[in-house]
Structure 1
Amino acid sequence: MATDVIVVGAGPVGLMLAGELRLQGVSVLVLDRLAAPARQSRGASFTRRTAETFDQRGLLERLGTSERADAHFGGVPLNLEDLPEDHYAARGVPQYRTERMLQEWATELGAELRRGCEVTDFEQRENDVLVRFQSPAGPQEVQTAYLVGCDGARSIVRRRAGVGFAGRTPSRGFLTADVTGISTRRRRIGENLPDGSMIMAMDLENDVTRVVVHEHGMGPQDRDTIAFPDLADAWQRLTGESIHHGNCRWLGCFSDASRVAEHYAQGRVFLAGDAAHVQPPAMAQGLSVGIQDAVNLGWKIGAVVRREAPAALLETYESERLPVGRQLARNATAAIELRLSGPQMQPLREVMTTLAALPEATEHLAQMLSGLGVRYDMGPGQHPLLGRRVPPQWELVHQGQRVRLTELLRSGRGLLVSADPAAAQPWSDRVDLPAGTWARGGEGMEGLLIRPDGYVAWAGDDQEDGLTQALERWFGPALLDRAA
C-alpha cells in the first residue's frame, strides 16, 4: 500500500490539507486515532483571513450564518468599524461543524480517511517515508512520499521527528464548558477582574453558552479529574451567580502555554496546526493559523509530487509560516500577561487602551489578529500588493459576467489576470489565464500573478523579466523546459 501524502490527524487542519492536496490531484490518506469524530468544540470562531480562505474554496456558505466576533487584545477592546477593510472575525461556528464540513469536502474530492488508526512510528528514507500505525485490524505499514503531522500539541510526528517545541512553561489554568439552560450576562471578549481573574460567556448555536473561568491562583488543570461543579463553583465565587443547574455538554481545560516548533519541516516530514504551534485558545487564532498552514503547504507539495516544481519549493513553507507561528506565540504571551497579571498591570492596561484607540495602532493590532497583515517574501518588487493576499472584493468581467478573483481560485490553481496571457502560456497547465477587464478594484493594474493560496506573487508590468521569474519561482519550469 502506498500513497503520495499521509496526513496524521483529522481535525480542521488535517482535513483542510487533505482537500488542498486533492485539488492538486495527489493521493492522500488521513489517519486519525479516534474511532469517530469528536463532538467537542474547542474552537468556536475563526479569523477574517480564514473566512476569506474558506470563501476562496467555495466552503464558507457550507458553514451557514455566523455572527461577527468583537475584537480585543488581552481584554483591551478594539474598534474596527472605521478601518478601510473588514477585519472582523466570524464567531459562533463550533469546531465540530467546521470539521464536518471539511471532511465532507475532502472526501468528496477523493481523500481517504481511516479512523481508529494511531501512528506509532515512521522511518524517513531517501525517496519516501515508511509510516507504521496501529489499526483496528492490527499493526500496518504504509509508504508515502511525504508525511504531515496535524496531530495536535502532543504530536507523535513532531516527537518522532525529534523537533524541539520550546516556549512558555504553563503557570495558569483555565476551565471551559459548553452549557445549556443557563442565563448569564454575555461577556464575549471576556471580563477582567481586579485580582487577575477572568470570566467569559459567549453564545454558540442551539442555546449553548461557552463559559470560561480563570480564578486568580488557578494553575494548570488535569483534564482527567476536572468536573463541571469545579467550574460552576469558581464561577459563583467570581460573579455571585449560580450556573450549577446548567446542562454541561462539554468540559475542558487549557493553560497559558505558548510553544512553537523549532522547525516546520524536516526532510520529508512537515508539521502544521497545533503540532507546530500552541497558544491559549482565548486568543481565538489557533484553528485559523493552522488552516493557513494547510493552505500554504498543500499546493506546494502537490506541485513537487507532480514534478512540476523542484523540491526547493517546499523550503518556503517553513520560511513563510514559522515567523507567523512565532508572532502568534509572542502575541499570546503578551495578551495573557496583560489580561491576568492583576492590579500591578493596570497602568499598562490604561496605556494600551489609550494607544488602541489611535487609528494606526488599531489597524496594526487588527492586521495581526485578523491574519490580513501577513506578507510573504516574494522576491524582487516594490508593489504594495506583492506578498499580500489578493483583495477579496476585486472583480473581473469574465465571459460576460462579473466574477470575484477569489472565485477564480476555487480550482486550487494559480491565476494570472490583466496581463498578456502569451507571457504565461508555457505555464498554462498550472496557471489559469482568464480574459477580462476590471469591474471592481484593480483599476490601473498592469497584471497580477496570484498563487493558489491567494497571495500575490507578482504585480506590475515587467512582462519579460519579472513575471517570468515569478512564474519559475512559484510554479516551476515552463512546460517546454520540462518536456525537453
Structure 2
Amino acid sequence: MQTDVIVVGAGPIGLMLAGELRLAGVRTLVLEKHEQPREVPKAGGLGGQILELLRYRGLLERFRAASPNPDPAPRFPFGGLDVDLTKSADSPLHAMVLPQRLLEQILDERAAELGAEVRRGHPMVGLEQDATTVTAEVRGPDGPYRVTARYLVGCDGSRSRVRELAGIGWPGTTYPEVHRLAQVTVPDSLTRFDNGDLDVPGVGRVRTGFTRTGRGMFALGPDLDVLSIYTAEDEAGEYDDNEPMTLDELRDSIRRVLGGDLPLGEPRRLSRWQFQARLAERYRDGRVLLAGDAAHLLPATGAALNLGMLDAVNLAWKLAADVDGHAPDGLLDTYQSERTLAASRALLQTRAQVALRRGQDPAADALREVVQELLTDEPAARRIGEMIAGSDVRYPVPGSGHHALTGTFAPDLGVDDLLHAARPVLLVLAERPDLLDAARGVPPHVDVRVVPTEDRPADALLIRPDAHIAWAAAVDEPADTAVPSLREALTHWFGAALEPAVPS
C-alpha cells in the first residue's frame, strides 16, 4: 500500500497533524494501537497560542461549543504560585476547559471530514527507510501488513515506539513527584466556607489555592459547585499512564499530604501523572519525524498540549510542500530548528516551576515569596503569561534588518478567513502600486489578499500557513527595499520568487 504520510498515534497531536495534512491535500494514514479512544482523563483543556491558531483556521467556535467553560478567568498556576491576569486589559494567556476525550473527538471528526484514514487497533511494530520512502510494519486485526509512504511521523507519546526504532536519544530528568488531580461532588458531611475554604477534620481550615506541608502540596480550586483538588508528593517508582486513579488512592494521598481525612463525594474526574523534562536529541531521522510528547516532555501543566499541537501545525505545511514538490531546500529542516527553539523556551519556564515547587527550605520559601510579589506587577505577570502561552517565541529568519513582526505569530488582523485553507498568504494592507504590482507576480501556491486599512502594523505581510510572519514591509518602506526582500522571502520559504520579476 502507498500513501504520502503515515502518522503513528491518534491522540490530539496525531489527529491535529492528520487534519492539517489533509487540508493541504496530502494523503494521510493514522495508525493507532488502541482499539478505542482512551477514557483515562488526561489533559483538561486547551490554553496558549493554539487557541489563536484555531481561530485562524475557523475552528475555534467548534471547540468552544463543546467546552463546559470556554472562557475561564485568566488565573493560572506557576510552580505552586498564582499568575492572576484578570486585571489585564488584554491577557496574553487564555484557556478553555475541554476534557481530552472531547478534544480528541472533535479532532477525529475533523480529520475524517477532510479525508484522513484512522485505523484503530493497528499498532506499528517496525519500520525501515531508504532515501525516498519509509515503510511501517503493522499488526492489524487480520494479520500483519506493510505500508509505504514518503514520510512517517511519530505522535505516539512519551514511550514512543517510533523514536525507539529510529534510534533517537531521549535525555532528560524524571522527577519523583506524583501529581493527582480530581473533581468530586461536595458531600453533606463537609464544612465549606463562603469563600471556598474547607474545614478538614483533624487539620482545621484549609484555604483555597496552594497549601504546602512538609509532606507535599495540596491545592483547592475556588469553584463552589464541586471540589477541585490537587496533591503532589514524592514517591518511589513509576505509574502506568493508562492505569486509572481511584478515589481511594486520592484519599490516601490527601491523608499523607494534609495529615487528615477529607470527605469526598462522587468523582467527576480522576487523573494522575508524573513529570519529566526531556527533549529528543533530534526531531528527524531521514524520513522519520517526531512531534508532541514523542519529542519533548515538560515538568508542569498548562503548556505541553499547546506545544505539541503547534508542532503539528508547523510540520504539516512543510511536509505538504515537500510532497507537492515546491519545497525549497532545507525547508523541512526548519521544523526541528523552530520547534526545538519553542520546546527549549517551554522547558525553561517549566523547569523554573520545578524549582519553585520543590524547594523545602527557608531559602525556597523566600524565593516563592519574592516571585509571588513580583507576579502582582502587571508587566511581570504578562511576561510569565506570554512564556506559558508560547507567544514569546520568535523564529529566526534569513537576512538582516527585519521588521519587528517577522518571525512572530501574526496578530489579529481583522480578516476572518485569512488562514482557513492553511495556505501561505501575501496580505497587502496599504494602497501602494508597487506592492500591488508585486502581488500580481506571486506564485500560484501563495494566496494574495488586498485589505487596505488605515490602522495597520505594516504595509504588507507574508504569512506562513502556521500563522507566523515570514516577511513584512514597514509602513511607507521604499519599493527598492520592500520588493527585493519580498522576493527573497518567497524564495526562501515557498520555493518561488516573484514572476515576472518586478523592477525596483
Task: Give the secondary-structure state (helix, strand or coil) at the position aligned to 1:308.
Answer: coil
The one of 148, 152, 161 aligned to 1:156: 161
Partner residue, 2:338: 320
Q: Does 1:442 align with 2:462?
A: no
Q: Distance in 2 between matches of 1:118 and 1:333?
A: 33
Residues 125, 463 of structure 1: alpha-carbon distance in 2 compared, 3 angstrom cutoff: same
Residues 219, 424 of structure 1: alpha-carbon distance in 2 compared, 3 angstrom cutoff: farther
Q: Distance in 1 between matches of 2:338 and 2:373?
A: 33
Cα distance per residue 1:76-101 (max 9 Å; x no partner): 22232455642232142111111111
Partner residue, 2:425: 415
Partner residue, 2:317: 299
What's the CA shift for 1:69?
4.2
Q: Distance in 2 between matches of 1:225 and 1:389?
A: 38
Aligned AA for 1:247? Answer: E
Q: Does 1:468 align with 2:479?
A: no
Cα distance per residue 1:26-45 (max 9 Å; x no partner): 10001111111112331112
Partner residue, 2:402: 382
Stretches of structure 1 that go unaligned for 5 or more consecutive residues are 396-402
Q: Distance in 2 between matches of 1:260 and 1:354?
A: 32
What's the CA shift for 1:165?
0.9
| Mean Cα deviation higher: 145-154 or 34-43 | 34-43
Residues 227, 330 of structure 1: alpha-carbon distance in 2 compared, 3 angstrom cutoff: same
Partner residue, 1:222: 239
Q: Does 1:166 align with 2:171?
A: yes
Task: Give the secondary-structure state (helix, strand or coil) at the position aligned to 1:463.
Answer: helix
Aligned AA for 1:191? Answer: F
| Mean Cα deviation higher: 247-256 or 333-342 | 247-256
Q: Which has the larger radius of gyration?
A: 2
Contact 1:170 1:255 in 2 (8 A): yes
Q: Distance in 1 between matches of 2:76 and 2:403?
A: 30
Residues 133, 326 of structure 1: alpha-carbon distance in 2 compared, 3 angstrom cutoff: same
| Mean Cα deviation higher: 59-68 or 369-378 | 59-68
Task: Give the secondary-structure state (helix, strand or coil) at the position aligned to 1:283.
Answer: coil
Q: Distance in 1 between matches of 2:157 and 2:74?
A: 25
Percent identity, aligned pairs only, is 37
What's the CA shift for 1:442?
1.4
What's the CA shift for 1:161?
0.7
Contact 1:32 1:117 in 2 (8 A): yes
Q: Distance in 1 between matches of 2:209 and 2:293?
A: 23
Q: Does 1:40 align with 2:40?
A: yes
Task: Give the secondary-structure state (helix, strand or coil) at the position aligned to 1:318.
Answer: helix
Partner residue, 2:202: none
Q: Distance in 2 between matches of 1:137 and 1:434?
A: 50
What's the CA shift for 1:73?
2.2
Q: Does 1:49 align with 2:49?
A: yes
Q: Does 1:276 align with 2:295?
A: yes
Task: Give the secondary-structure state (helix, strand or coil) at the position aligned to 1:409.
Answer: coil
Residues 473, 264 of structure 1: alpha-carbon distance in 2 compared, 3 angstrom cutoff: same
What's the Cα RMSD here?
2.7
What's the CA shift for 1:143?
0.2
Matched residue pairs, number? 465
Aligned AA for 2:145? Answer: Q
What's the CA shift for 1:208?
6.8
Residues 209, 162 of structure 1: alpha-carbon distance in 2 compared, 3 angstrom cutoff: farther
Q: Distance in 2 between matches of 1:269 and 1:202?
A: 42
Partner residue, 1:349: 368
Task: Give the secondary-structure state (helix, strand or coil) at the position aligned to 2:384.
Answer: helix
Residues 383, 429 of structure 1: alpha-carbon distance in 2 compared, 3 angstrom cutoff: same
Task: Give the secondary-structure state (helix, strand or coil) at the position aligned to 1:39.
Answer: coil
What's the CA shift for 1:48?
2.8
Residues 355, 342 of structure 1: alpha-carbon distance in 2 compared, 3 angstrom cutoff: same
Cα distance per residue 1:390-433 (max 9 Å; x no partner): 112x22xxxxxxx34xx311110111112624324444422211
What's the CA shift for 1:370?
1.3
What's the CA shift for 1:177?
3.9
Cα distance per residue 1:117-163 (max 9 Å; x no partner): 11111001110001111111111100010010010000001111111
What's the CA shift for 1:315?
0.4
1:33-432 matches, cutoff 5 A: 33-63=33-63, 64=65, 65-66=69-70, 67-81=72-86, 83=88, 85-180=90-185, 185=196, 191-195=210-214, 197-202=216-221, 211-215=229-233, 217-223=234-240, 224=243, 227-239=246-258, 242=261, 245-248=264-267, 251-280=270-299, 282-344=300-362, 345-380=364-399, 381-392=401-412, 394-395=413-414, 403-404=415-416, 407-418=417-428, 420-432=435-447
Task: Give the secondary-structure state (helix, strand or coil) at the position aligned to 2:332.
Answer: helix
What's the CA shift for 1:357?
3.1
TM-score with structure 2 length normalisation? 0.85
Q: Distance in 1 between matches of 2:89 and 2:492?
A: 32
Q: Distance in 2 between matches of 1:113 and 1:168?
A: 33
Q: Distance in 2 between matches of 1:244 and 1:140?
A: 53
Aligned AA for 1:128? Answer: T
Task: Give the secondary-structure state (helix, strand or coil) at the position aligned to 1:130.
Answer: strand
Partner residue, 1:399: none
Task: Give the secondary-structure state (helix, strand or coil) at the position aligned to 2:119.
Answer: strand
Residues 446, 269 of structure 1: alpha-carbon distance in 2 compared, 3 angstrom cutoff: same
Task: Give the secondary-structure state (helix, strand or coil) at the position aligned to 2:210.
Answer: strand
Residues 208, 305 of structure 1: alpha-carbon distance in 2 compared, 3 angstrom cutoff: farther
What's the CA shift for 1:339?
1.3
What's the CA shift for 1:382?
2.7
